[in-house]
Structure 1
Amino acid sequence: MWKRKNSVMSMWATGLLSLSVLAFTGCNNDDGEEDLGEGTMEIQMTDAPADNDNIDAVFVTVTSVKVDGQVVDGFEGPKTINVMALQNGKTEMLATDKFTAKSYENITLEIDSEMDEDGNSPGSYVEMADGTKNKLMSSDGEKAEYTFKGRSRVMADAKSTVVLDFDLRKFIRESDTGSASSFSFVSKSDLEGYLMFADEDNSGRVKGNYSGQIDTDEKVIVYAYKKGSFNESQEADEDADIQFKKAVSSTEVNGGLTKSFSFYFLEEGDYEFHFASYKENNAGEMELYGLIDAESETNADLLDNVEVQAGVEITLNIIADGI
């Protein structure tokens, strides 16, 4: 009886092992690679405010979207978008497609300077407040690719949404040519590593109430940095090609008697926030006036260590105390 019992147990163990092997084999595709399943990724675009109040709109023409080097077939382009219309949490859907369930870290846009979605020229341009259009030139060629960095996890049979922060403040450079201004895209090499995207499911929101006088010729911009990444001498350098280059995002303080600001897509993590004053110069252009001494109403050191959690909205009460 003992031997019979052992025989039955051996048969049961062998059957279980065979079942496990079959289950494991069933998770592989015909090429011998593990089948992770597929999920849907939706790619959206948003923008942070530009520094120039004379700009009324900025149109860019996207001709291709890639995720980790893979062309997104679900992108229906070319597509011409007024990026400046996508501020304060507004987004534009670029593409949606199926992807292997795994993590992705790079989203690349190909942008056409020459031809828009209707075949007209220019493809990308700045529209001024007086209605004039200035073509956005590119030193990287007629069509240039720009890569946004981040991390998004696509889950099998689920949908994830990522939001690209176009951030015109970093993307566009203005130069004076005699009596007129010209605009151009910043080169890919200058922007490498400084364009970001966020996974919406892994993002939080920060809102703030701002107590402080803002003059009629002044603009206050709030910059969000990953904790420990802000260096005042580098980021606020007047001679830098791109000021506040390492900022993850930025937003403007708005309002009359009650002033406020909002960040809508901040990846979960620890941040610090810095406030900068811009004033109008003799040429009517906004230029950096200085960093503002600002602190939280409840904790003077809070702005250097704000924890952003996924799906959570934080409200900061800010007191500004001069430059």
Structure 2
Amino acid sequence: MPEETSQTTFKITDAPIDDAQVEGVFVTLADVRVDGQSLEGFSKTTIELSALVEGQTLTLGELDLAADSYSSLELVLDTQTDAAGNTPANYIALANGTKEELEASAETIRVTDGFEVIAGAANEIVIDFDLRKTITKSQGALEADYAFASTSQLEAGIRVVNEQATGEIEGTVTDSQDYAETIIVYAYPEGTFNAEAETQGEVQFANAVTSSKVSGLDNSYSLNFLEEGTYELVFASYEETEGSVNFATLLEVESTTGLNLGALTLSAALQLSANVTVTGTL
């Protein structure tokens, strides 16, 4: 009996970068490979990753894959020119109108996260390129310097999921007492958040599955492409200083409908609503 295969679509998305100076993050991919096989329909592409937030995606290409688990996904960076033949190939666009090149220690990113192709399903594999974890920033005497994170951090900062097996947690945040200038919501597997460890180091909240900036007229957030499981939500306050957004403190919140924000159970295709009110700081 022939092995069952599925035409599998590959997409890319992003979790937002926490930096008010950044207008856009542009990354040029020369190739995308699964088990050494290049995606069909893919050509060299320059992607504005920072625009692909709140569940927005860009389709990269397709492959006919057997129903199975896969752990070999490679993103190949072009480090010379972008898709239009211009330099730099990978860069940060800053609010002051300048570009800063993003340099990588390796051209090939071997993603450590695996994914599953499901038999008989419309498989859409989402590559979540988390800019918080994959871009580093160091403050020089006159301006900040940006770069890709180390190869190991870069590979660990990209997760891959089958959209068929994911859900979403969305909601609004009421902060009537103005406890925070900017609020970012982080999703962690239940019981894994360690406040001391996660608010220190070069990459803060490094073990969050994904994050979302509270924004819009309704102060909403959307945590997308979460695999089935139980999650705890962490709400953090950020302050803007000289154009840079920096972590200030954790926020104390309560659900407006009595949900346990430390144990939200999510199943595939479920959109869970978790509206909260900020009651103080921690």
TM range, normalised to the smaller chain? Answer: over 0.9
2:101 aligns to what?
A: 135
1:165 aligns to what?
A: 128
Q: Is the 8 A contact 1:108 1:148 kept in 2?
A: no
2:24 aligns to what?
A: 57
Alpha-carbon distance in 1 for matches of 2:183, 2:225:
20
Secondary structure of the 2:152 match is helix
1:226 aligns to what?
A: 189
Consecutive aligned runs of 4 or more in structure 1 exceeding 6 Å deviation: none
Distance 1:214 1:203, change over 3 A: farther
1:45 and 2:5 matched:
no
Candidates 91, 108, 111, aligned match of 1:144: 108
Give 1:297-312 correspondences, 5 Å limit. Answer: 297-299=256-258, 302-312=260-270
Distance 1:198 1:56, change over 3 A: same
RMSD: 2.0
- Unpaired runs of 5+ in structure 1? 1-26, 28-34
1:272 aligns to what?
A: 232
Q: Is the 8 A contact 2:8 2:122 kept in 1?
A: yes
Candidates 175, 200, 212, aligned match of 1:251: 212
Secondary structure of the 1:201 match is helix
Instruction: Tell me the CA shift for residue 194 of structure 1.
Output: 4.0
Q: Deviations over 1:87-146 (max 9, x none)?
A: 1211100111111221224432122233212332111000111221100012x14x2314
Q: Report the number of matched residues.
A: 281
Instruction: Provide the TM-score with structure 2 as the length reference.
Output: 0.92
- Unpaired runs of 5+ in structure 2? none
Alpha-carbon distance in 1 for matches of 2:275, 2:168:
14
Q: Is the 8 A contact 1:194 1:246 kept in 2?
A: no
Secondary structure of the 2:123 match is strand
Secondary structure of the 2:164 match is helix
Candidates 239, 253, 262, aligned match of 1:294: 253
1:176 and 2:176 matched:
no
Q: Is the 8 A contact 1:99 1:154 kept in 2?
A: no
Instruction: Tell me the CA shift for residue 227 of structure 1.
Output: 1.3
Instruction: Tell me the CA shift for residue 266 of structure 1.
Output: 0.9
| Structure having greater relative contact order (Cα 8 Å, sep ≥ 6) | 2
